[in-house]
Amino acid sequence: MLALPSSAQYVQQTQPNSPDYNPKASYEGPYKLNTWSIGVHVAPTLFFGDLREYDFFPVSGNSSDTHSEWGTFEGGIQINKQLSYLFGLKGDVSVGNLTGMKRRNYFRYFKTNYVDASLSGTVNLKGLLLGPTKMKHWKVDAYAGFGMMWYNATSYDLTGGVELRNTGATNDWIIPVGLEISYELTKRLDLGLDFRLNNVNSDFVDATYGGDYSRDPNGFNFETLPTARKGNSALDKYGYGAIALTYKLGKNPLRVSKVDGKYTYDPDQGGYYHLRYTDPRLLVKPPKILTMEEMDSVAKANRPKDIDPRLLLDTDGDGVSDFFDKEPNSPAGSVVDGSGRVIDFDQYVKNALANGAACNEIFANVMFDTDKNEIKPEYREMLNNVATLMNRSGCRLQLAGHADRRASDRYNMALSRRRVDAVRDYLVNEGGLKDQSKVVVDYFGSFKPIADGATTQGLMKNRRVELRLMP
């Protein structure tokens, strides 16, 4: 039995053979399997009841006080449905005849023609006791069920063959029990032996009640007979040891075979194994543990192509990589659009106020002195215009505070927060912004620089609050 590991280093390879995967199957496993089969069986029959001379061996030959118990026959068909690897159902219909004799007490023989039908549950003893990996082409089933027998029996005197009694057409319940041994000859055919004993709910299959010793039909008193065709002896039984041939139904059948001396299942080859011989868990492919060399090979095979180095460069520090920058040499501190072109943010806001233009997404920076959060005079008019534009048009504003790297992370986070609060407070208190909910603030300390912190010019660019005007 195969177990699936849970460690992340294992790679599960199993895939259902879609679109034929059946999620409603009664068995567990990712693959569909064939589950139906039909069969035929033929055999001599044996009767076990009052008119049976010996317990084990049938009487052979005819004489003045003997009638042969040989020459009986049965033939039948069956339909099998495998519900899981261990359990299934079988329906059976048989036609046959029985005969037997008894000298002591009875001195008579009988002949019976019958038809029976039954439904039985099966248990895979081979799989239950030996597991699914032993004797892969063998199947040993025990079964039991219930059914009905329709028969017509006649008993005769051993001397002269005088008819003593005839049951007429009658029927009784039966309980079949048995053992079936099968071998998988090919993908389609199984050959086997079926040993069955049918327990009849009657003592009348041989047209004789147990305890009735009379051979004279005229002297037989029917009024004194027990009811339900049962006498004083045990109920009758009959059975057989049949040769059975089974045809496995289903499309594209597969049969497990040996590869390099080992049985190997390969359900991905476009066919279906039969549940009679295959435990679905054996179709789960074993997990594979990759070696370091294999993992390295997989990593190399899936490695993305190297990106253009220009995507990582921003020569002018305007926030647009050189790969997309239409003006790669913008002056320091310039406000640019998404393609790197220089935009006069203050002029854009003035034009929007004058012409009633709708808001577009545009950026600007408010710069600060070292360790300061005061708004410089040169930015006040721009902020006033931004507040007025927001009041008129409904524009929104996103503020993001930053600091240079010349302090601890905790201090820089607090400093960047003070700077962004200063800009928001100015817009509300000095600029007259009416709806503070239109302003979204965030702060990042020194974690998002836009310039080299090793130079004075770079430190100055990093001391900023970014304004992002949005519709």
| DSSP classification of residue 305 | P
- So what's the pLDDT on residue 45? 97
Q: Taking Cα atoms as reference points, which of 267, 283, 288, 282 lies closest to residue 134?
A: 282
> What is the Rg, in whole angstroms, of the alpha carbon atoms belonging to the chain?
47
Q: Do the bridges between strand 257-259 and strand 262-264 make them parallel or antiparallel, or are there none, so unpaired? A: antiparallel
**Element containing residue 295 per DSSP (H, E):** helix 292-301
Residue 53, classified by CB atoms within 10 Å of its CB into exposed (0-12), middle (13-18) or buried (19+), is: middle
- So what's the pLDDT on residue 20? 53
280 prior amide bond cis, ω within 30: no
Nearest-10 crossing angle of helices 380-393, 345-355: 40
Burial 192-222 (b: 16+ CB within 10 A, else e): bebebbbbbbbbbbbbbbbebeebeeeeeee
For domain 13-283, is the CATH number 2.40.160.20? Answer: yes
How many angstroms separate the CA atoms of 444 and 420, rounded?
10
The answer to whether 338 and 320 have CB atoms below 8 angstroms apart is yes
Phi and psi angles of residue 410, each rounded to the nearest 5 degrees, phi first: -65, -45
How many angstroms separate the CA atoms of 46 and 254, rounded?
38
How many C-beta atoms surround the C-beta of residue 181 within 10 A? 16
Q: What is the DSSP string of 411-455?
A: HHHHHHHHHHHHHHHHHHHTS--S-GGGEEEEE-TTSS-SS-TTS
The answer to whether 206 and 218 have CB atoms below 8 angstroms apart is no
Q: Which CATH number fits domain 344-470: 1.10.760.10, 3.30.479.10, 3.30.1330.60, 3.40.50.620?
A: 3.30.1330.60
What pairs with residue 140 in β-bridges? 181
Instruction: List alpha helices for 80-232, DSSP H.
Output: 125-130
Q: Taking Cα atoms as reference points, which of 437, 339, 335, 345 lies closest to residue 395?
A: 437
Sheet with 464-470: strands ordered across:
362-367, 464-470, 396-401, 439-443
How many angstroms separate the CA atoms of 191 and 204, rounded?
35
* Rounded average pLDDT per 10-residue block, the chain, 471 residues: 36 45 69 93 96 88 90 97 95 97 92 98 95 92 98 93 91 97 96 97 89 50 53 89 96 87 81 92 79 83 72 65 73 65 71 66 84 91 87 86 91 94 93 89 90 84 88 79
How many angstroms separate the CA atoms of 368 and 422, rounded?
11
- So what's the pLDDT on residue 417? 94
Q: Where are the domains of the chain?
A: 13-283, 344-470
- So what's the pLDDT on residue 1? 34
